[in-house]
Amino acid sequence: MQFKIRAANKEDCKEISRMIMELAVYEKMPDQVKISHEELERDGFCQNPFFECLVAEVPEHHKSREGFTVVGYALYFYTYSTWRGRSQYLEDLYVMPEFRGNGIGKSLLSKVAECVCLGGQPERLCAAAVVCVELEHTHS
Amino acid sequence: MQFKIRAANKEDCKEISRMIMELAVYEKMPDQVKISHEELERDGFCQNPFFECLVAEVPEHHKSREGFTVVGYALYFYTYSTWRGRSQYLEDLYVMPEFRGNGIGKSLLSKVAECVCLGGQPERLCAAAVVCVELEHTHS
């Protein structure tokens, strides 16, 4: 399946917000999501953004059953260890269920790693939720 | 005991680096500290700093046995939750043993909380190492 991984822009925040909720539903905690796409727009696209985000996009003819073409995302930010220095933290990595098994999760993860290197950061990348990639590996 | 809490500046990095090592020695893991004061200077005092830091300073006549006047620090950075939004993470909070019991740890923590509010952030503040404050409370 054709897809591309690209840096998210402000206009993607509604889609990212939708997928954040999908992930929370999967984790059986949808009531824990307290932020909307407006907060994502404000916090991710200001002068000193609080996070960076990549999205996976499929062509129009591969859109989801509901008509979505943005089908996955990886959201990460920078942290700091007083022992090891600069680090990245992968907060979420998500691919919509019907698009799993196509290498999208792996590509998102590779691209995050690449962004880490481009930023002149060390190779430390921590993650909380890799469940979707694991699922994808299981199905591919 | 007189002391002041202030934002760290680039020139404090040698002192912060020394106290990072003291904390690591206390935790019995001094060999885990891989960064020097040069990295702290580069990462904390660039255009988009990776962390923020407060230091506690005592007057010259209260200096430590070894002659130090910077006797504590709180180092924190910003993180992002896709459920809750902006957050702060307190990486280290440290007060030199001979200065504990004077409210320095508590003042550092209050000032961190104040900086959080001034920055227009929500009240979420996470911490890994609060052991020094606990010790101070025990002794005061």
Closest in B24, B86, B91 to A80, CB measured: B91
Q: What is the pLDDT of residue B113?
A: 85
> What whole-number distance in Å separates Cα of residue B39 and Cα of residue B13?
9
ipTM score of complex: 0.85
A21 CB within 8 Å of a chain B CB: no
Q: Which residue has the higher pLDDT, B97 or A134?
A: B97
Query: How far is the CA of B15 from the CAs of A26, A114, B59, B73, B132, in angstroms?
Result: 47, 34, 15, 9, 17
Q: Do B80 and A75 touch (CB under 8 A)?
A: yes
Q: Which residue has the higher pLDDT, A24 or A88?
A: A24
B86 CB within 8 Å of a chain A CB: yes
Each residue's pLDDT tens digit, A76-130: 999 999 999 988 899 999 999 999 999 999 999 999 988 765 455 544 555 544 4
E strands of chain B, at which residues? Answer: 4-7, 52-57, 70-81, 85-95, 125-127
Please list every residue in chain A whose beta carbon sits closer than 8 Å to the beta carbon of residue B82: 20, 23, 33, 35, 75, 91-92
Residue A86: give the domain boundaries.
4-139
CATH number at residue B109: 3.40.630.30
Q: Is A4 exposed, middle or buried (0-12, 13-18, 19+ CB in 10 A)?
A: exposed
Structural domains counted in chain B: 1
Each residue's pLDDT tens digit, B74-93: 999 999 999 999 888 999 99
Q: Do A33 and B82 touch (CB under 8 A)?
A: yes
